[in-house]
Amino acid sequence: MSILSAKNIVVSYYGDISVLRDVSMEAKEGEITIIIGPNGAGKSTLLKTLYGLLRPKKGSIIYEGKDITGLKVHEFMKLGLAYVPQSRTVFPDLTVMENLELGSWILRHDKKKVNEALDYVFSFFPILDEKKNDKAKTLSGGQQKMLEVGRALLTKPKVLLLDEPTATLAPMLAKEIYSFLVRLRDEKTTIVLVDQNVRQAFEIANYIYVLELGENSTQGSKKEFEGKLKEVIKDWLNYDESH
Amino acid sequence: MESILIQAIVSGILLGLIYGLIGMGMNIIYGVMRVVNFAHGEFMMLAAYICYWLNRQYATNPLHSLIIIVPLFFGLGFLVYYLFVPRLLNSEDPEMASFLVFFGISLVLSSLILIIWGADPRGIPFPFKRVSVSIGEFFFPLGRLIAGGFCGIVILLLILLLFKTYLGKAIRAIIQNREAVSILGIDTHLLSAFSFGIGLLLVGLAGGLVILSFPAITPMMGSSYTLVAFVVVILGGLGTPLGALLGGFIFGLAENIGAVFMPTSLSPVIAFVLLITMILIRPQGILGEG
Ligand SMILES: Nc1ncnc2c1ncn2[C@@H]1O[C@H](COP(=O)(O)OP(=O)(O)O)[C@@H](O)[C@H]1O
Ligand SMILES: [Mg+2]
């Protein structure tokens, strides 16, 4: 069953230039849906629109059967969504713990829930527990990414949107993130993942969308993509076999 | 000589606490919204005149007037935020636009006070039985001791707010990354309005306390306190609330120690010397990040 979907959305940053032109996608409950495509295709724009940071000029965003187009950004977490952007979003001068506390903002009046949420996140990323009193800026790049992901998990979101979470990570750390995502799916979290590490993302995917130049190009289940993945990505500029 | 110097240091610290309070308000507003409140000193002056007026009408002790000033200025902060700031943030050049708007507000406030209370300096009868207290061979003006002590308590409460509460942590977080705060489910407009409220509340408190520390207030004093806020903020680091406290101490001490060695007429020069020196050697301020 579809839990989150975009229906024929048109999005632009300013003026008449549309970055997304009539794009549709849906994420099925409990699955990992990946969105891939060359640089500048509009993948990040799509995630931002799904999370309310951009408002589509046309089309709609549907979550659990309700039209949530145009809802304010800060409402999304309460609905059960969470989003980890491509850019760095840790608060560098706050401690790891303070960063996490802000991730539990909507639970703040329930101390017990906050503590449970922290334990939940520490179970995924024990390193955050070890470093909880350190300033976030002292963490390595990989640890900061874990902090961002952990911070998005505190509310136990039903749908987690991630934008290139492994882009700047060493291969070992990237692997850790992918196995974490699989574990999260096993716990019934729906995941929408934008990724440039196409092969690794494909490994864990249930369903694949390919975006090109702001439009849907191809899509299909993992099975349907098996074997033709290479063909699909062959023409992308900048694509590097070693990825 | 030595005792004069010690007295100057104590006065400097007391004044520094007031300056710190003024600067912390300015820095929270700037840090959260990237809006420079050019009317900061005028808001302070408004608070001072309200305390003056309450004293004339009801013989209120300025310390008691603060009970009214605090909610009034907190609410004023919300009002000013929602009237102006979201529009400024949407404009093409928010910093220039905010300069114009807040410069305008400063003119309006000064003129308003001039119209209501006239250009003559105003003061209130000193509300305490003694003017100064002596400790050993030293004499300290009681008004400044009380004002400084009060500022110290408020600053302590502010630090507790910023470092121990969810709200304060959110304020420190939004200073560092506005968008990241909104995706965590925090209403950035409400948080900004709250921060503006805190900023004006702090400078409002300072206005009430200034009337205790100095004999007279005039409709011209606003801009000199805006300058104080600037110097303090630039010394400590733009957008870092604790930096402003440090900047306040440095400025307060420099002014008072300077007065021991230089004619009083030269004391405004100290502000500019500090300002220019800091901009030359460390433009991001002592606690600011380059
Ligand atoms: N903040 C922005 N303002 C204007 N244009 C933008 C902005 N962000 C992205 N774009 C443009 O939108 C297009 C899609 O960008 P993006 O969604 O980031 O692509 P992807 O994530 O697939 O690399 C690009 O042409 C990019 O230049
Ligand atoms: Mg992108």
Domain ranges in chain A?
Answer: 2-88+158-233
Report the separation in Å between the CA atom of A144 and the middle of ligand 2, taken as the mean of its atom positions: 18
Task: Note whether residue B286 is domain-resident.
Answer: no
Task: Look up the ipTM and state it.
Answer: 0.92
**Residues A76, A79, A83, CA angle at the centre, nearest 5°?**
45
Task: Give chain B's domain count.
Answer: 1
The pLDDT > 70 percentage for chain A reads 96
Q: Measuring CA to CA, which residue among A100, A101, A80 is closest to residue A155?
A: A80
pLDDT confidence of residue B80:
97
> B183 and A93 in contact by Cβ < 8 A?
no
Q: Which of A19, A83, A193 to mutate to test the pocket of ligand 1 (most atoms within 8 A of CB)?
A: A19
Q: Inform me whether the C-beta atom of residue B263 falls under 8 Å from chain A C-beta atoms.
A: no
> B186 and A74 in contact by Cβ < 8 A?
yes
Rounded to an integer, what is the distance from CA A25 to the centroid of its chain?
14
Task: Note whether residue B165 is domain-resident.
Answer: yes
HSE-CB at B210 with a 13 A cutoff on CA atoms is: 31
Task: Note whether residue B289 is domain-resident.
Answer: no
Ligand nearest to the CA of A50: 1
Atom in ligand 1 nearest the alpha carbon of residue A38: 22
Mean pLDDT across chain B:
92
Q: Inform me whether the C-beta atom of residue B173 falls under 8 Å from chain A C-beta atoms.
A: yes
Residue bearing tokens 């600053």: B155
- Chain segment B45-65, per-residue pLDDT in tens: 999 999 999 999 999 999 999
Residue bearing tokens 């993509």: A225
Instruction: Answer yes or no: is pLDDT of B264 > 80.
Output: no
Residue bearing tokens 């003006």: B141
- Chain segment B126-158, per-residue pLDDT in tens: 888 888 888 888 888 888 899 999 999 999 999
Among B176, B183, B188, the residue with its CB nearest the CB of A85 is B183
Contact B167, B194 (CB under 8 A): yes
Instruction: Answer yes or no: is pLDDT of A146 > 70.
Output: yes
Q: Which of the following CATH numbers is that of domain A2-88+158-233: 3.40.50.720, 2.50.20.10, 3.10.180.10, 3.40.50.300?
A: 3.40.50.300
Q: For residues B242 and A223, give the distance between their C-alpha atoms in angstroms, rounded to a whole number.
A: 57
Q: Which domain holds residue B208?
A: 2-281
Task: Give me the phi and psi of B130, to 5 degrees please.
Answer: -115, 145
SS3 per-residue string spanning chain B: CHHHHHHHHHHHHHHHHHHHHHHHHHHHHHHHHCCCCCCHHHHHHHHHHHHHHHHHHHCCCHHHHHHHHHHHHHHHHHHHHHHHHHHHHHCCCHHHHHHHHHHHHHHHHHHHHHHHHCCCCECCCCCCCCCEEEECCEEEEHHHHHHHHHHHHHHHHHHHHHHHCHHHHHHHHHHHCHHHHHHCCCCHHHHHHHHHHHHHHHHHHHHHHHHHHCCCECCCHHHHHHHHHHHHHHHHCCCCHHHHHHHHHHHHHHHHHHHHHCCHHHHHHHHHHHHHHHHHHCCCCCCCCC
CATH of residue B161's domain is 1.10.3470
List the single residue in B with minimal CA-CA distance to A137.
B176
Task: Note whether residue B287 is domain-resident.
Answer: no
Contact B233, B245 (CB under 8 A): no
Report the separation in Å between the CA atom of A186 and the middle of ligand 2, taken as the mean of its atom positions: 26
Strand partners, A82: A160
Please measure the distance between the N-terminal and C-terminal CA atoms of chain B and give it in whole angstroms: 40
pLDDT confidence of residue A235:
65
- Chain segment A174-231, per-residue pLDDT in tens: 999 999 999 999 999 999 999 999 989 999 999 999 999 999 999 999 999 887 777 7
> B177 and A89 in contact by Cβ < 8 A?
yes
- Chain segment A27-68, per-residue pLDDT in tens: 999 999 999 999 999 999 999 999 999 999 999 999 999 999
> A53 and B179 in contact by Cβ < 8 A?
yes
Which residues are near ligand 1 (CB < 6 Å)? A 13, 19, 37, 39-45
- Contact list, B183 vs chain A (CB under 8 Å): 51, 53, 73, 76-77, 83, 85, 89
Q: How many CB pairs under 8 A join A and B?
A: 63
Task: State the smallest CA–CA distance between residue B265 and chain A in angstroms.
Answer: 42
pLDDT confidence of residue A60:
98
Task: Note whether residue B290 is domain-resident.
Answer: no
> B176 and A91 in contact by Cβ < 8 A?
yes
Q: For residues B72 and B56, give the distance between their C-alpha atoms in angstroms, rounded to a whole number.
A: 19
Mean pLDDT along residues B253-268 = 85
Task: Note whether residue B262 is domain-resident.
Answer: yes
